[in-house]
Structure 1
């Protein structure tokens, strides 16, 4: 790939919370490139720094040291985020939650309606369109969160433990939706996970331990509909 394919580049990136003897180094000197079309899993146990690294990639945290450049991104709207925790707005129904980034961006109403309908269809949530978040399951809510990202059409999708609170079957459907969203938009996809079965469905893998990003692993492209069980 050429340099034009580079979306995000991290060089020697560190993130420290606090100061003095109580300081906690969440990320130590990470080097990472994310390019167009990447399907990357960052794998490690809880507390290994995965979420902190994802927040750095997203621009939600600023590095304590090192540099992050985003040559292939043109602002926050090029980044779509899916979190492990519930991220839907309780007072908005599924359609309104999915449409929110487009409404905030001032997209025309007809375009918004079309993109929301297509996104809900891709993740299999069309039948949930009029429901409020407290009327759907956790797995359904995660698929709606993916639909919201898909409607946004970002160049980079970052998903932080998106299956962490779900059973295997539901988690597989959410991962199906993420992969479909990335394929549909042409986005790169970065997923943090502690589950090797989730990581196995992505073609690139980086382990993370004690805040340190390990050497890359690669694999043949897996079946995008493979099971997590």
Structure 2
């Protein structure tokens, strides 16, 4: 494997194997009359290099789908597999970076320590982890905040640190749940631009959930969710349950 750069980037060999495959995946919470179906049986594929926006109103199942893809939750029916991300020597989490919608920084750690922590857990030497954390913070214009604790950051600054933490690890798939939801328009545009630019350098696929059409337009493919289903909004766009559509290395069906 090629040596990583400051952000942990390595050359990714395109094999054509999907990174993630969902096959009739569904997620139900609870049982009996009170059961809630968050995601109905759906099928989709995320391939290397994909740039996907998942749009829909609050409660449509976007976050649940993201958690299923990330392996943070398991389907109650159907299957979610990661054929292009499995490695005998590394865990699935090593290859997937998740930017959560809510606060996710550890309060006792500085911004730089929060960014470096996953790298150290991965076994990256301390000095290298610190360099990669610093580079990720700098890429988001946060180098001046490296020594601050989370409660000394604004909500927008904290979200940008969370993005830096994901990028520093050099994942092959970046999943971002409403990454610009707490940011003003200009800061949100900057964060999304840096996220997509870093993903390009890393050779990583990107899936972003959003209700903002401006964010969705920055990605090459849009999936629509409503009432826990991936739907085809009109005949001009092949939805995830419609005909196969290829795009920049990603595909959906």
**TM-score after normalising by structure 1:** 0.90
| Shift, 1:3, TM fit | 6.0
The offset of 1:184, in angstroms, is 2.5
Residue 78 of structure 1 is matched in structure 2 by: 95
* Per-residue deviation, residues 36-82 of structure 1 (Å, max 9, x unmatched): 11110000000000000000001111101111110111311101010
Q: Deviations over 1:160-195 (max 9, x none)?
A: 111122222222122122212312211111000111
- Are 1:31 and 2:43 counterparts? yes
Report the 3-state secondary structure (helix = DSSP H, G, I; strand = E; otherwise coil) of the residue aligned with 1:4.
coil
Matches within 5 A, 1:205-216: 205-215=222-232, 216=238
Partner deviation per Cα, 1:127-182 (whole Å, 9 max, x = no partner): 11111111122221111111111111111111111112222222212212221231
| Partner SS for 2:16 | helix
Does the 8 Å contact 1:78/1:156 carry over to 2? Answer: yes
Counterparts of 2:160 and 2:193 in 1: how far apart (Å)? Answer: 9
2:218 paired with 1:201: yes
User: SS state of the match for residue 186, structure 2?
Assistant: helix
Q: Which residue number corresponds to residue 185 of structure 1?
A: 202
Q: What's the counterpart of residue 172 of structure 1?
A: 189
User: 4+ runs of 1 displaced by more than 2 Å?
Assistant: 2-5, 215-218
> How much has 1:5 moved relative to structure 2?
3.8
C-alpha root-mean-square deviation of aligned residues, in Å? 1.9
Please say if residues 7 and 36 of structure 1, whose CA atoms lie closer than 8 Å, have aligned partners that are also in contact. yes
Structure-2-length-normalised TM-score: 0.82
Bigger proportion of residues as helix: 1
Whole-angstrom CA distance in 2 between matches of 1:176 and 1:41? 14
**Contact 1:13–1:31 under 8 Å retained in 2:** yes
The equivalences for 1:66-215 within 5 A come to: 66-74=78-86, 75-215=92-232
Cα distance in 1 between the residues matched to 2:201 and 2:107: 27
- The answer for the alignment partner of 2:77 in structure 1 is 65
| Residue 65 of structure 2 corresponds to residue 48 of structure 1 | no
Structure 2 gaps, min length 5? 1-13, 87-91, 233-237, 240-244, 249-253
Give the distance between the partners of 1:162 and 1:177, measured in 2 at CA: 12
Q: How many residues align?
A: 220
CA distance in 2, matches of 1:136, 1:180: 24
